[in-house]
A and B are shown apart, each in its own frame.
Chain A
Amino acid sequence: MKFEYPAGDNPIDRLEVVGRPSDRLDGPLKVAGQARYAYEQHEVAPNQLYGVAVGAAVGYGRILDIDTRQASSAPGVEAVITGRSAGQLDIGDFYVASALAVDQVEHYHQAVAVVVAGSLEQAREGAARVRVRYDRQPGAFVLKDAVFAAEAPETSPDIDIGDFARGFADSPVRVDEIYETPDQSHAMMEPHATVATWSGNRLILWTSIQIVSWGLRDLAKIFAIPQEDIRIVSPYIGGGFGGKATVLSDAVLAAVAARHCGRPVKLALERHLQVNNTTHRPATRQRVRLGADRDGRLQAIGHETWSGNLPGGAAERSTIPTTSLYAGAHRMMRTRVGRLDLPEGNAMRAPGEAPGLMALEIAMDELAERLELDPVELRLRNDTPVDPTSGKRFGTRRFAECLRTGAERFGWHKRGTRPGLVVDGDDFVGLGVAAAIRGNNVTNSAARVRLRRDGSLLVETDMTDIGTGSYTIIGQTAAEMLGLGLDRVEVRLGDSSFPRASGSLGQRGANSSTSGTYAACQMLREKLCAAAGADPARADFADGQLIDRGRRVALRDLAADGEIVAEDGIEFDPARGGLAHQTFGAHFCEARVDRITGEVRVTRMLAVCAAGRILNPKTARSQVIGAMTMGLGAALMESLAVDPRLGLFVNHDLASYEVPVHADILEQEVIFLDHLDEHSSPMKAQGVSELGISGVAAAVANAIYNACGARVRSYPVTIEKILPHLPLA
């Protein structure tokens, strides 16, 4: 089904099931421990062996020799496989680091061998006995140095509109600052894990992956086998945040080991390997220049960003939000990537927007201060109905309403107009605001629906649920379309034998995959009408019945002779109606800073999100408060520490890479400006999950500044960066 816009009226608009705060369909399974994650797939392939990856001990260098003799003779060890014995392995299309080093170690903890044994303990013991000699080589580990040879990636062309240099020079009020964001880890709960087995030339993987079809594509390339010979099953994913976009070393090593041993192999990356073996959000240095007239109207916006990566690796595109967020005639954006021999930087929750807004939205706070203008008002004055870079109209843009609603609900008027004005007990109290913007993108998605003989419905699609609620909203969509209760719908996800959907990445999964389900259900409705002799233009589906001009036919009766199956997908026009598609929001934060010790407590957070129709306010809220929590982590604590002598992220476990805990979160509120986006999809929805993190960290940093006057431009805003700004007595 091609999506024709505007969407017009359709059965989803009834909102009998969609739009309601249904509990997760998979919730009971998860709380009862019955949802089987990849590593728990014990019975799917009998006679499993256990694999353990050996991570490289140097940040960069050559492998001189791997002595596997002691490992091979360890009790229970079946095989010790190195890059030389694994057979030819390519890389996929998304990640650039090799899953298994052959001669050259590209980064710390890159796998140099995999040990396979009859038990996990035996495999670990074997792995500890692998002796590797390295020629440690000087690598590039310092972003500040890498920027000098940084290059412009093809994916991020320079943007020059108007005459930035002149516009900036002519602006009476200016900000020109450097901001730094650190390397961050996804730190998802479930480690990367896979069970792999071969049946002849066919490879089957039970794994934890966000986009099943990318996994097929990349495994086919890595192993030089046809995609048709691969099956991926990934029904439950314990968090990904971009770190499981496609297959990583766990999948490749498990498949290599299973091929080598002729038996199924189970392999999970040990926790201490996750940080350096897999990917992370790369650190950035950003220069933001803002020039405004005395009324606060931006004349010139300059945003340059530098990040580092392995050769061929992607740039962190921090300027993306700046292209579309504020008006301003003179614009200059630059994205540069230099070489670093640290682990690969890649997608993490709102890549581009999250680090970009961490910089831009502090700069806006600084500009507001220089203008002596309220930060909310400054943002309102630079609202624009047209994307200032592409010149396209926005499909929807309710940014101003987000700001106004949030200011009203949050008590923004209580904000001190200067730092240090509001004191309560031992604390300075400050309020901060930041804009949120995140692309509303879509991907063609398909589904198969089966009306079963008992009148229940089964939905099958390779869409994944990474903890987001996909099962539930897909079920709600199908229930709405066929006039069934949610309890009459079963949803099966994450299997490559099902029709291809968007997968979960870039906050496009919910809108895309439910639209694919919509398309399949629309086809099923037509089939059912044909079977019942009803007019599809007039027929209604309600209460488990097809209703046509007063005639009611139970769906169960239509399927009495056998299930009725329909498969279709949604196809989006790449031009998307000639409109700019973005989601908007505003984040508000209240922070308390101890006047003597500089300890920070974030006491209140509010997100106002304009993200189209909210398909399920409960799961959407969970997404947003989770993202706000991650944004708070980015603001206050999350940072991978680089040791530039050794070339690694030193704090590679969850004791030393701190993410927020319950005690850090006091009060979070989410307001959805529920509205319809007729140009986005038949669901009239947009993405929301990554909007929830975009801007949060800057709102926290701005609140800290408003509280105590500590303007920190290098995240995270830890205590030692605040202390120099506090009064001594």
Chain B
Amino acid sequence: MKLVLIVDDIKENLYLLESLLKGYGYATVSANDGAEALGLALKNPPDIIISDILMPVMDGYSLCREWKKEETLRNIPFVFYTATYTHPKDGEFALSLGADRFIIKPQEPEDFMAIIEQVLSEFRNGKIQVLQTHESSEVTLLKEYNETLIRKMEDRMLKSEEAEKKIRIYASQLETEVEHRKKIAQTLKESEEKYRSIFENSGIAILLTAPDGKIFSANDFACKLFDRTEEEIIRIGRDGLIDSSNNPHLSVLLDQRKRVGHAKGELALIKKDGSRFLTEVSSVIFLDKDGNERTSMVIRDLTEQKKAEEALRESELRFRILAESAPVGIFTTDANGSTNYVNPRWCEISKLSYEEAMGSGWIKAIHPDDLDSITLNWQQTNLSNIGLKSEYRFTHPDGSVAWVIGQAVPQKNEKGDLMGYIGTITDITERKEMEDDLISAKEKAIESDRLKTTFLQNISHEIRTPLNSIVGFSRLLSEEELSPEERANYIDIVEQSNDHLLSIIADIINIATIEAGQAKLQEKEININAICQLLSNQFKTKAEKQNIALTFETCNHDNEALILTDGTKLAQILTNLIGNAIKFTKNGSVSFGYQIDNDKLVFFIQDTGIGITPEMHQDIFKRFRQVESSATRQFGGSGLGLAISKANVELLGGQIWVESEIGKGSKFYFTIPYKPASQAE
């Protein structure tokens, strides 16, 4: 077995070459520098030496020189194997020192071994040239040797510097990496703390569990909720917290969580004291860092919410009952004024259905005359923020009308935003009707009072005028130097005035009787023709005095004129109407008569007098009313005549009216029932 001496200051190189050579069946001996190698070789000469160049104590070149000087060693092949080849001269120099080969690292092991075996075979075949003594001087050799070494040293230093630079870069990169990792660790820690803090301090109960119901962790809020310590909760597990008998959909939730990874639902849970409370639980399945299935359970206590909901429901019910049974109409609108609720009473008042009232549907039921005032009121409510009252009408499909007082107030939320309006309507139709009645009653009373005053003034005047004559002329009768004619005239005046006064008093009593409802009918068989003829004769003188032609027109026979009625009242009516006709006619004619019209007798009294304006055709029949105001009245009279006549006609069962034109004359008509005396008997 051949022995190979390997010289290298780097152990790894030694080990590599030893392994390689042993693999090829060589024995090896190693030295760390030239001196050690020389010592070993002298003791036990190898078959070949493989040496590095740069080494401490004695370098390769020195070793080679000493090697070739030793008698026992100079014929042993010397091979340089070096990585520090930088210059072609290095090889030449090595060979000039007597080295057999100069191999540059790295070499493939097979190539390296081929070279080694080639060198050994050359030696066996005696090809090895024994190195001649150097022709060049020792000085030149040394100089060259030094130059080579220095070159090699510089080269190595440069390489070393480069390596150091690289190392520094690596070191800084490493430092950055370490810093980065530190930061990540810090962030992770903070994040973990943050989530831990959320977990611990959130106002909501959280449990960390496994799908099988095992609990790993419970936050403070959860502990408070269950009134248990975290250890207790972990010990009893999910099944100890959930009232499984009272939670029919627990299995549904668990099943859902298993299928889709999360679930949320209401569950009844149990406190330490056994009391149950309703919660909303949301649960999610996730994987922990080791890939285990874990679940979270977030529990929200619904006790307060349920209480609030219950209270709200009760309150809502209460208000609904109030709204549904309230005696006033109630409505609500959105912020735009569009109706979104009305109560039954509202529908009842407006006669609209709930559906018809929605939005702006209610407007169609509002009386057209009230739309403007409603709009105005609405605008003012918006401006002033105060619910203003307004009165308006709903028109019903049947044409009837409901009067209401409406009022709406704006509804605002906590922020002050307008949410809508709430309003009421109160049916005041009855009140309105009463008001109207009262107003008209008041007007009537005022009118009545005014008429009575006028009446009293007239009566006063009418009584005082004849009384003046009676008092005055009675006094004059006592004068002694009166002629018999004067005396007779005075007596006549007093008598006339007496009659006048009596007739006025009779009128007053008449109207008083009628007003008191005490007038009575006394029906008797009478002949109308006879009565008319009598009246015609009575008024003849007066008519002639005024140059008026008075005619009684009849075309009925006496057998038809015999009827059953209150003759006194009939005569009174005719007297009044004929008297008026003559009184109000300055010239022309007055005619009167009657006709039979089925079951009625129609009387007429026509004159060519001053006439009556159309607006007075009704008024003249009213009590205390006269055609002209009292002060300018030309024609005298109590102003009761027509009122008495009308009352009497109605008492007899008929009607009275007038047709008249100013300046042309008037025609009064009145009817009484035609009751022939023969039939009545």
Our verdict on whether A and B bind, yes or no, reads no
Partner-A contacts on B (CB < 8 A): none
Q: Which residues of A are interface residues toward B (Cβ below 8 A)? A: none
